[in-house]
Amino acid sequence: MAYGKMSLYRSGLSLLILLMLSFESAQAIVGGEVTDIDEFPWTALIEHEVSDGTFRYGCAGSLITERYVLTAATCVIPMSNQKITRVRLGAWNLNRTREYECFPASIDVDIESTIVHANYNRRSRLHDIALVRLARDVRFSAMIRPIEMSETKSVEGTAVAAGWGRTEHNTVAEKKLKVQLDIVSMEQCAPIYNDSRLELKQSHLCAGGQDGKDTCMGDMGGPLMQERFGKWYLVGIVSFGRAECGQDGFPGVYTNVVEYLDWVKERIIT
């Protein structure tokens, strides 16, 4: 399967944090290839209400059960200028709630509660993971389906990131995009971020670093996935990267999902 160049944009932290770290949180897609309508049906959009009373999709996430979405902690922690309100599932084209008659319409689901990792640290970007509990169970369909979290300790080879965000022309992508990224070893990735006083841990995962291919501004909290024997698994959560995304030699950093399997299982209420 061929993938175009893509970059997911990073936002969502306060200006102070951005200045201290010289990074931006992942939040957009640049130059990606459009997905099929029903491809990656676990991809969720997280809506925020900003201080002026308007709403915007500031983050993404992954549906992992009929009631829970997994995302980045940065997406759900309280901020002075915005608050999380609801989740959209089954979306493909952001300008339409229904794509074609043969596909169900996207749905907006209220949020009952959120759970942020107790040890999440904005400075170190450690434990950047959170659960969103929906106000009701959702019914699965061709457009809405959960993804299984990977239990494989060693993540190698390539992975795929998907979502919406800003394109290389600085416009918001209407349709869901995808990009294929190389997994980068921690031995290669950690030294790149040392200059920024960020110490990467086993709970981090690096991918990308090829010119024009990255997760960048627009889909923080979104999925990094691998396909194994015809089934997709969630291996990472879009977390952060350099402010100028898509640069050769600078991989994006993700939350390593396998390190948090027990944390997730212990907090899901069935």
Predicted confidence (pLDDT) at residue 126 exceeds the cutoff of 60? yes
At residue 269, the pLDDT reads 84
Indicate whether 132 pLDDT > 90. Answer: yes
Helix (H) or strand (E) holding 266: helix 261-267
**Residue 205 pLDDT greater than 60, yes or no:** yes
Look at residue 164 in the predicted model and tell me its pLDDT. Answer: 84
Specify the higher pLDDT residue, 141 or 79: 141
Instruction: State the pLDDT at residue 138.
Output: 98
pLDDT score of 245 more than 70: no
DSSP class per residue in 152-221: -S---SEEEEEE--B-TTS-B-SB-EEEEEEEE-HHHHHHHHHTTT----TTEEEE--BTTBEEEEB-TT
Which residue is associated with the tokens 């050769």? 248
Give the whole-number percent of the chain exceeding pLDDT 70. Answer: 76
| Structure token pair of residue 137 | 């169970």
- pLDDT for 224 equals 96
pLDDT tens digits, one per residue of 92-122: 988 775 556 678 889 999 999 999 999 998 8
Instruction: Give the residue-averaged pLDDT of 155-183.
Output: 80
- Write down the CATH superfamily of domain 7-267: Trypsin-like serine proteases (2.40.10.10)
Look at residue 19 and tell me whether its pLDDT is greater than 70.
no
Q: Is the pLDDT of residue 237 over 50?
A: yes
Please tell me whether the overall predicted TM-score, pTM, comes out greater than 0.75 for this model: yes
Find out whether 31 and 217 touch, Cβ atoms under 8 Å. Answer: no
Asked whether the predicted pLDDT for residue 1 surpasses 60, the reply is no
pLDDT in tens, 143-158: 999 999 999 999 999 9
Measured between alpha carbons, how far is 154 from 45 in angstroms, rounded to an integer?
28
Confidence of residue 25 (pLDDT cuts 50, 70, 90): very low
Average pLDDT over residues 11-20: 33
* Mean pLDDT within 3-20: 36
pLDDT classification of 266: cutoffs 50, 70, 90: very high
pLDDT at 177 over 60: yes
pLDDT at 153: 92
Average pLDDT over residues 187-191: 94
Predicted confidence at residue 218, as pLDDT, reads: 54
Side chain identity, residue 198: L
